[in-house]
Structure 1
Amino acid sequence: MNELLKVNYDNDRITLSARELHEFLGIKSVFTTWFNRMCEYGFQESNDFLPILEESSGGRPLTDYEITLDMAKEIAMIQRSDKGKEVRQYFLELERRWNSPEAVMNRALEYSRKQVKALMEEKQGLIEENNQLKPKALFADAVSASNESILIGQLAKLIRQNGYEIGQNRLFEWMRENEYLIKKGERYNQPTQKSMDLGLFEVKERTNTNPDGSTRITLTTKVTGKGQVYFINKFLS
């Protein structure tokens, strides 16, 4: 299968660049106008897309959006053009391969390997200490022992599992209102200086090469192990 557009396989879902899709479809209107019009079809930030800041070949900052495969399929169908039909068929094939029994099994095995590794690396002293703590402290120490950062949406699931009902969108909103994430501007939804000083987040930077040879930088905000403990205890208290 020829690669029509570059896609990212991360956090159990497929995403891609809205700007690259806009370019492939040959849309004549400017990107920002087009994307805002597409959002009128009911797509929601955090669920269907995330804003990312990238740098153009000329060094100018540009806002792109990392969109889900489902959103990309709907956009392609809306265009009603040969390009739209072609790329939608490409997305359907990607989805078919992603959901094949072999791919699902491989992801499950990889997840299991990570879980086993994390358990084996726990220190005996931490286990003994955890036995004396309350359930919420047990969970908090287990998280702090992990070196892996997680997305804010995954943090919302962890908080729900510990008895506080909150979804991804509400958690984003709460973090912005409480000055853990930036409310507006080019750094929208990125950590505030206060959050970074506390060690609650880290920003993962990824450099991608565009079809024209230019590069773009993708910034993804993730919650550190310390941040997971901090926010879970804050909601539980």
Structure 2
Amino acid sequence: MNNELISIQTNEQGEQRVSARELHKALGLKKHFADWWKQYKDMFVDGSNFMDAPQSVPIKNGNGRIQYLDDYLLSVDMAKHISMMTKTERGNQIRDYFIQIEKQWNSPELMMARSLQYANNKLIGYESKIAELTPKAELHDKFIATGESIGVREASKEMGIKQNDLVDILMNHKYIYREQGRNGKLQPYKKYVPKLFVLKSGGVGENGIEFTPRMRITPYGREYFYKKFVNPEQTELDMEA
């Protein structure tokens, strides 16, 4: 029997499907497709035995324009039953063809091949996911490794940018401000403490003058600023402050 009697499609879920329009044409019926389809569709379950394939069949009109017609994708079992119910010699031929297709599809060899393909696809998916997550893990480890909060100078070196550039970025985006004019100490806005910044306790110096607590950037803060300002092309991280 000709294996190309009617084409069989295999979807992403590994299910075999038959075009209703192709089946109608192969059966050689005179009844219009829409009338023929109405005759059978209520006998079967939408979403299980068949599914809609809207505007999936291109045809060329007399003026040369392409028009797209609606179609339906049938399970092989449904296509087999419709062919049998046609009660024609052609219908019997197509029914026998579908029976052979089902036998081949359910053979141990093809079932094993499908299982191996499914497992291979899963493996490829896992490998892709691991590759996607690796930059996140490496970036996270870069800043979390020490587990310590550090000063702006050390943080800028860690991020690979100039200290003044980091200060300008944080000040311009209102994460920090400078106390007492141009040469005052850098201080974080309170809403970013202690998530992005911590303050090392202040105290009284040898001269008896009280000094301001020193600002430190947390590991999370450094990761956040690096992703947001230094290298925004990195894979996305959940870094909302």
For residue 39 of structure 2, what is the aligned residue in structure 1? Answer: 37
Cα distance change on mapping 1:31 and 1:124 into 2, 3 Å: same
Runs of 5+ consecutive residues of structure 2 not aligned to the other structure: 139-241
- Please tell me the residue identity of whatever aligns with 1:44: V
Distance 1:102 1:126 in 2: 41
For residue 7 of structure 1, what is the aligned residue in structure 2? Answer: 8
For residue 83 of structure 2, what is the aligned residue in structure 1? Answer: 76
For residue 233 of structure 1, what is the aligned residue in structure 2? Answer: none
Distance 1:81 1:26 in 2: 10
CA drift of 1:33 comes to: 0.6
Distance 1:12 1:62 in 2: 25
CA drift of 1:79 comes to: 0.7
For residue 60 of structure 2, what is the aligned residue in structure 1? Answer: 57
Q: Percent identity?
A: 32
CA drift of 1:126 comes to: 6.0
Q: 3-state SS of the aligned residue for 1:4?
A: coil
Q: 3-state SS of the aligned residue for 1:60?
A: strand
- Please tell me the residue identity of whatever aligns with 2:96: Q
Runs of 5+ consecutive residues of structure 1 not aligned to the other structure: 129-237
The higher relative CO (CA closer than 8 Å, separation ≥ 6) is in: 1
Cα distance change on mapping 1:127 and 1:14 into 2, 3 Å: farther
CA drift of 1:118 comes to: 2.1
Taking structure 2 as the reference length, the TM-score comes to 0.49
Cα distance change on mapping 1:127 and 1:94 into 2, 3 Å: farther
Cα distance change on mapping 1:119 and 1:126 into 2, 3 Å: farther
For residue 115 of structure 2, what is the aligned residue in structure 1? Answer: 108
- Please tell me the residue identity of whatever aligns with 2:49: D
Q: How does 1:192-207 map to 2 (within 5 A)?
A: none
CA drift of 1:75 comes to: 0.1
Distance 1:104 1:38 in 2: 30
CA drift of 1:40 comes to: 3.0
Any idea what the Cα deviations from partners look like across 1:173-225, whole Å, max 9, x if unmatched? xxxxxxxxxxxxxxxxxxxxxxxxxxxxxxxxxxxxxxxxxxxxxxxxxxxxx
Q: 3-state SS of the aligned residue for 1:75?
A: helix
Distance 2:125 2:58 in 1: 36
For residue 30 of structure 2, what is the aligned residue in structure 1? Answer: 28
For residue 174 of structure 2, what is the aligned residue in structure 1? Answer: none
Q: How does 1:218-233 map to 2 (within 5 A)?
A: none
Q: Over the residues paired in the alignment, what is the CA RMSD in angstroms? A: 2.0
Distance 1:4 1:51 in 2: 23
CA drift of 1:127 comes to: 7.6
Pick the aligned partner of 1:19 from 21, 29, 47: 21
Distance 1:73 1:127 in 2: 53
Pick the aligned partner of 1:99 from 96, 103, 106: 106
Distance 1:127 1:66 in 2: 44
Distance 2:52 2:126 in 1: 35
- Please tell me the residue identity of whatever aligns with 1:5: I
- Please tell me the residue identity of whatever aligns with 1:9: T
Cα distance change on mapping 1:127 and 1:89 into 2, 3 Å: farther
For residue 188 of structure 1, what is the aligned residue in structure 2? Answer: none
Q: How does 1:131-210 map to 2 (within 5 A)?
A: none
Number of aligned residues: 128
Distance 1:127 1:119 in 2: 16
Distance 1:107 1:127 in 2: 34
For residue 202 of structure 2, what is the aligned residue in structure 1? Answer: none
Distance 2:115 2:70 in 1: 34
Question: Which stretch of the first structure deviates more once superposed, 9-18 or 94-103?
Answer: 9-18
Distance 2:82 2:72 in 1: 13
Q: 3-state SS of the aligned residue for 2:60?
A: coil
Q: 3-state SS of the aligned residue for 1:120?
A: helix
Q: 3-state SS of the aligned residue for 1:119?
A: helix
